[in-house]
Structure formats: structure tokens, C-alpha cells
Chains A and B, each alone.
With several copies, the nearest count.
Chain A
Amino acid sequence: MTTHGEKAGAAASYTADEMMTVAASRELADGAVCFVGIGLPSEAANLARATHAPGCVLIYESGTVGAKPDVLPLSIGDGVLAEHADSVVSVPEIFNYWLQAGRVDVGFLGAAQVDRFGNINTTVVGPYESPKVRLPGAGGAPEIAASAREVIIMLRHKRRAFVEELSFVTSVGHGTGGNHRAELGYTGAGPTVLITDLGVLRPDPETGELTLVALHPGATVEQAREATGWNLKVADDPGSTDPPTEGELQVLRDLKARTEAARRGTST
């Protein structure tokens, strides 16, 4: 566990995962309608809602619109998602009336593998017919990637996750780059940012290739290159992510502590 923290107002000490979650949460604008994947995206989206974006509308694929969980959901259909939601609708409605209809501003996704164009694999590692690892599959991701106005991806920076070629394209990012995404008929902008535990990648406006544009405090370009399975493009002068503030970190840790207590399952 690496710890950081130097800036004024910044937290004294935090983990790389905490930095990643905080950085991702900052990408979510207040008032945005956000379709949230379970796990890291859910953590970041709820941190945003509890800090700078109290008016964001969180949608989970189980059918909850305007979910306001007080602990992080243990699953995509957790009861805390329904409890204070604005509405709960059926799964067909959430995909057809909300996502496909263009009512979602931001899709917030995790991934098993990502390539340089932000395409995502959550299906298999190895050949489809005889996979080395059978992953869970598509879930809601292909249509989130297709129909949200923009997509935020969160993924820990590891060579086996940031790959030259995906075993399987489950969800389309910028396709083969350039205009490919638009040529496929997708109206949304696709992945506009990939947040890792080392830094922030954004697509090159021309080629769509993910480019390292900022490093988290303490992380280096060399680390990022080493953890990337393709020849990583780096901005001329990559910026530096502001470290988590004490406030952000406090809220995140409280959220995770409440969640852990609920996970231990003694609540009724």
C-alpha cells in the first residue's frame, strides 16, 4: 500500500485505490444522469453524490433511477438501491426507456481488459470456444458504451488488463480509432476518460487513442508504460492529479466503513 499526500488541504495519507476513486468521482458533474456499474464505478459515483454532485441521478441496471444508497450496494440489485430511489422500473424499461432512449449522460464502467481505443472485454481471456478464463460476460456494458452520451472507465493499471489486442470486444469504445465509432452509427461520444490507479487517460481528439494526460501524485510515466500492454501514448506535458482532499477521503472512508459493516451481514 503506497501512501501519498503533500499539498495543502490534501489528505495526509491515502492509497492508490483511494486516489483512483476520488479522481473518477471528480469526473461526474452535478446533475448528470449516470448509469453506474457495480464495484469501483459505484464507489466513485456515490462518492461524487456525497461530495460535489449531490444532484446527480444514479441509475443501476436493476431498474433503480435516482438511487441514493447510504452504503455501497453489494450487488447490482441490492435493496439499498431501491430504498430511497426516485423510481424503480423493470429491466426492459431501464435499458429501453432510459439508456437506449438517450436519457443517460454518463456511463460509468469497469472492465476486465481494455485496449488503446477504450474498447472493453468482459467476456473471455483466450479463444472464445476454449477460453483460458471465462469472464462473466457482457451484462449491461455494450449498450451503456453504445448509448450513454459519454463513458468513464475505471480500471487498475496492469499489463494483463491494458492489452495490445482484446481476446473479445464486448463493448465498443472508439473501435479501430479515428471516425470508426461514428461510422458504426453510435451517437454517444464513447469513452472520454479512463481513470487508473496511476493516472488519467483521455482519447486523442483525432485518433481516439487513449493518451496519458495526468499522473496521480507519486506515479511516474515509466510505471504507466510498464503497466500498459501497448506502446502507451503520453501527453507532452502530463499534468498531475490533485490528491484527495481530507473531505473527499473522509466521505469515502465513511462510506466504505458503513458498507463493510453491512457486508458483515449483522444488520436486519
Chain B
Amino acid sequence: MAHVANLREAVAGLVRDGDSVALEGFTHLIPTAAAHEIVRQGRRDLTLIRMTPDLIYDQMIGVGCARKLVFSWGGNPGVGSLHRFRDAVENGWPQPLEIEEHSHAGMANRYVAGASGLPFAVLRGYVGTDLPKVTPTIAPIECPFTGEELMAVPALRPDVAIIHAQQADGRGNVAVWGISGIQKEAVLSARRAIVTVEEVVEELAPHPFQIVLPAVAIDAIAVEPHGAHPSYADGYYDRDNAFYEAWDAIARDRGMFRSWMDEHVLGTENFGEYLRSVRAEGMVSK
């Protein structure tokens, strides 16, 4: 059952070295505050799971949190490459990164299977591509009624799922509106779930295309205003596009990356300080 905690406690209590961790978000509501806290607490050997690894996974990979990445599209959305991700895959820096690669449809259905308590999901896809050659977690399966051959993928059951949402109510129910991506399935597929929110309100109001995750599905809620920076939170703030563009240069160089992380993430106590620190450099639009 959800309880409102501070993020440091939530991460300390629920994210362990060696865990498989899914910090989800489909370019909206990226859980940056939580990712930074994992970096600050120096977690190691994580299996990072995500459909769309972006800046926060670039950061976690670059500082050496990750042993493995399970994913379907890794990039700086709207800008280009993830240089830390590429450096890990292409050059094994700072350490080798095992990868398990799927398509979006495959990853989405793996979460659905996990959230459904099933060992696998079935989809039309992968046939004729090179993905089954490099990804062992893809296998053919036959329809017992029609004989048709389809593809199966195993369920994802992360040890921990972490998402950022707009609001929680007083009972610990969590509201996400606008684009909600794979957030619901990520939370429900995981053994433990942490949600950071923009704010806690007494009662949730209806918003367009809102989903509500009941309190009983969540282990800890932490209030982290602007916690999805540099992505956006529908109803709260816009994407900090300048930051995404600036990240390209920061992440391109190992030294520059390290000193940036040291200054803004490892050198700050919490996400509020991080925001002040990057704002001082004019990197937060709003």
C-alpha cells in the first residue's frame, strides 16, 4: 500500500544492487529525480529495463550503475544519439553493457504479460528480421486453433518499477494524464513500485485521458516537483528542449560527462538542489 516517503528513503529501501529496474516514461513524465537518486546512492549491477532509454539511462550507464540494458529504442528524443549508451556498447566504457533488444511491440507485450501474471505474450512480429538471431527471448508459438505461427516473448517482471506522475491523492492513488505510455503496465508488472509526483492533492479531478493507479499497487510515493525535468509534465511544465540539445555535447565527451554528473547530480543532495544547480547554468527553460 502506498505511503508518502521521501525519495531518498524510498530508493534506499526498495532499490538494491543487482536489481532489475524499469524507470518508464514515453518522452512524457520521465522519472529523472528517481534516476538521479539511484545514481547518488551508487547502485551497481542493475539490469535497466525501458522501452525508450533516454538521458537518464545515458546517465546511469555512464556512471556505471548498469550491467545490462533491456530495451527497444535508445536515443536522445528529437536530438540524436545517446553517447554514453553508445560508448558502453561500442567501447565497453565505463564497463561492458549486456543488451537484450526487442521492438516496441515486443517490449510492450512483455510488460503486459508481466502485469497479467503470465509467463509470456504473443504477437505478430519479428518474422524475417535479424532480431531473433541476436535476442534469445523471442520464440515461435503455434495457435492451437488455427495452426498459425506467431511469436512469443517472455514476461517482464522487474524487481522495481519507477514512474513519475502528475498527482497522488490523500489515499495514495496516483493520476497520470495525457500520454501515459507504458507506465501502468510497468508498475503492475513489477514486484515493487515507486512513484514520484508533482504534488499531492486531496482529491483527484478528472483530466483528459487520465489513468489512476490505485494506492494498493504502489509501495512508495515521493513528492518531487519538476521531477521529470528535462521532459514535460502535462499540466505542469513543458519540455526543456534546450537541455536535450545541450546534453548531446555534454554526453559526447567522457570527461565532460563525468564533471557534469559530479557537479549537478553527485554533487547535489537532492533533486531540488539539482534543479537550482542546472538553473544557475540557464539550462532549465522554466
- Asked whether the complex places CB atoms of A and B closer than 8 A, the reply is yes
A contact residues vs B (CB 8 Å cutoff): 31, 33, 38, 55, 57, 61-66, 73-79, 81-82, 85-92, 95-97, 99-103, 123, 128, 130-134, 136-143, 146-147, 168-172, 175, 180-181, 184-186, 262-268
A-B contacts, CB under 8 A, total = 230
- By the criterion CB–CB under 8 Å, are A143 and B104 in contact? yes
13 A–B pairs (Cβ distance < 8 Å), ordered by A: A33-B216, A74-B244, A88-B178, A88-B212, A91-B185, A95-B109, A97-B115, A134-B81, A137-B71, A137-B73, A138-B104, A169-B130, A265-B241
Is B184 among interface residues, defined by CB-CB distance under 8 A? Answer: yes
- By the criterion CB–CB under 8 Å, are A138 and B72 in contact? yes
- By the criterion CB–CB under 8 Å, are A79 and B179 in contact? yes
- By the criterion CB–CB under 8 Å, are A265 and B134 in contact? no
- By the criterion CB–CB under 8 Å, are B116 and A146 in contact? no
With beta carbons under 8 angstroms apart, the residue of A62, A102, A130 that contacts B179 is A62
- By the criterion CB–CB under 8 Å, are A168 and B130 in contact? yes
B residues less than 8 Å from A86 (CB atoms): 171, 173, 212, 214-216
Q: How far is the CB of A186 from chain B (nearest CB, A)?
A: 7
Q: How far is the CB of A49 from chain B (nearest CB, A)?
A: 14
With beta carbons under 8 angstroms apart, the residue of B1, B105, B182, B214 that contacts A90 is B182
A residues less than 8 Å from B89 (CB atoms): 131, 134
B residues less than 8 Å from A180 (CB atoms): 128
- By the criterion CB–CB under 8 Å, are A90 and B103 in contact? no
A residues less than 8 Å from B184 (CB atoms): 90, 97
Q: How far is the CB of A161 from chain B (nearest CB, A)?
A: 16
Contact bitstring B62-77, A, C-beta under 8 A = 1, else 0: 0000000001111101
Which 6 pairs across A and B sit closest by C-beta, in order of nearness?
A: A77-B27, A139-B73, A101-B117, A75-B77, A136-B75, A88-B209
**Chain A residue with the shortest CB-CB distance to B107:** A91
B contact residues vs A (CB 8 Å cutoff): 1, 26-28, 51-52, 71-75, 77-78, 81-82, 85-86, 89-90, 101-105, 108-109, 111-112, 115-118, 123-131, 134, 148-149, 171, 173, 178-182, 184-185, 188, 208-209, 211-217, 232, 234, 238-242, 244, 285-286
Q: How far is the CB of B204 from chain A (nearest CB, A)?
A: 10
With beta carbons under 8 angstroms apart, the residue of B74, B102, B148, B179 that contacts A136 is B74
- By the criterion CB–CB under 8 Å, are A265 and B214 in contact? no
**Chain B residue with the shortest CB-CB distance to A66:** B214
Known A-B contacts A65-B214, A66-B214, A146-B125; the reply to A100 vs B238 at CB < 8 A is: no
Known A-B contacts A57-B214, A62-B181, A136-B81; the reply to A82 vs B234 at CB < 8 A is: yes
Cα A33 to Cα B217 with chains together (Å): 11
B residues less than 8 Å from A140 (CB atoms): 73, 103-105
**Chain B residue with the shortest CB-CB distance to A180:** B128
- By the criterion CB–CB under 8 Å, are B131 and A92 in contact? no
Chain B at the A interface: SS class: loop
**Chain A residue with the shortest CB-CB distance to B90:** A134
Chain A at the B interface: SS class: loop
B residues less than 8 Å from A90 (CB atoms): 180-182, 184-185, 211
**Chain A residue with the shortest CB-CB distance to B104:** A140
Q: How far is the CB of A85 from chain B (nearest CB, A)?
A: 8
- By the criterion CB–CB under 8 Å, are B179 and A88 in contact? yes
Cα A123 to Cα B103 with chains together (Å): 11
Cα A236 to Cα B196 with chains together (Å): 55
Cα A73 to Cα B27 with chains together (Å): 11
**Chain B residue with the shortest CB-CB distance to A141:** B103
B residues less than 8 Å from A102 (CB atoms): 117
With beta carbons under 8 angstroms apart, the residue of A66, A82, A147, A175 that contacts B128 is A175
**Chain A residue with the shortest CB-CB distance to B232:** A79
B residues less than 8 Å from A132 (CB atoms): 90
**Chain B residue with the shortest CB-CB distance to A124:** B89
A residues less than 8 Å from B216 (CB atoms): 33, 57, 65-66, 86, 103
- By the criterion CB–CB under 8 Å, are A96 and B109 in contact? yes
With beta carbons under 8 angstroms apart, the residue of B51, B77, B208 that contacts A74 is B77
